[in-house]
Amino acid sequence: MTTLDPGIPAKLEFWFDLGSNYSYLSMMRIEALAERHDVAISWKPFLLGAIFKSFGWESSPFVLQKEKGVYTWRDMARQCEKYGLPWTQPSHFPRSALLPMRVALIGAEQPWISAFCKRLMQINFVEDQDINHSAVVDVTLTKLGLPAQEIIVAAQSEDNRRDMRAQTDEALRRGIFGAPTFFAGTDMFWGNDRLEDALLLAARKAK
């Protein structure tokens, strides 16, 4: 199962940012893996840039530390080859994803959340295009058969902006320092390479 179902107690929280390259790896894999383990996904978009700013960082550590950046792009190429995922190193990183993240918050409990997020990830990390434009978000929502302008207006409302700030503050309070992050109950797992471990524990906790 890939959406919350009260009949299935096993649940994994998936904290992600659409501008995060390692979130891309998990985003493209999590549904199939969660279904295999009979675990529901709780979608938790948050603003990773705000977390970094709380540490006094003005950008991603992959930018601030040259050596880490060089390693990361090679690692992403290897990981995408391993998982059979398409990949293009972004010509600009990190890209702002504020508008699509606000839309993701609107859709977090809707059946279209996965398709929307996966498409935005593809635009960012496969097609190497800016995702923080209303036209890009509009086209994506429209192709999903959704009322694009209605959703975009709701996403940009002050209520939703406040909710996004609150969600990001919650991430800070819970000790999240990067993306993707997963919670199986109170147990936190950080990084795409911990996705399978997180799902296993979530399934075990439900037994």
Which of the residues are catalytic? 20
Cα–Cα distance, 194 to 20 (Å, whole number): 16
For strands 181-184 and 11-16, give the pairing.
antiparallel
Q: Are 95 and 132 in contact (CB under 8 A)?
A: yes
What three-state secondary structure class fits 65?
coil
For strands 181-184 and 40-45, give the pairing.
unpaired
Cα–Cα distance, 30 to 33 (Å, whole number): 5
Cα–Cα distance, 9 to 19 (Å, whole number): 30
Cα–Cα distance, 108 to 91 (Å, whole number): 29
169-204 b/e with 16+ CB inside 10 Å = b? eebeeeebebbbbbbbeeebbbbbebbeebbebbbe
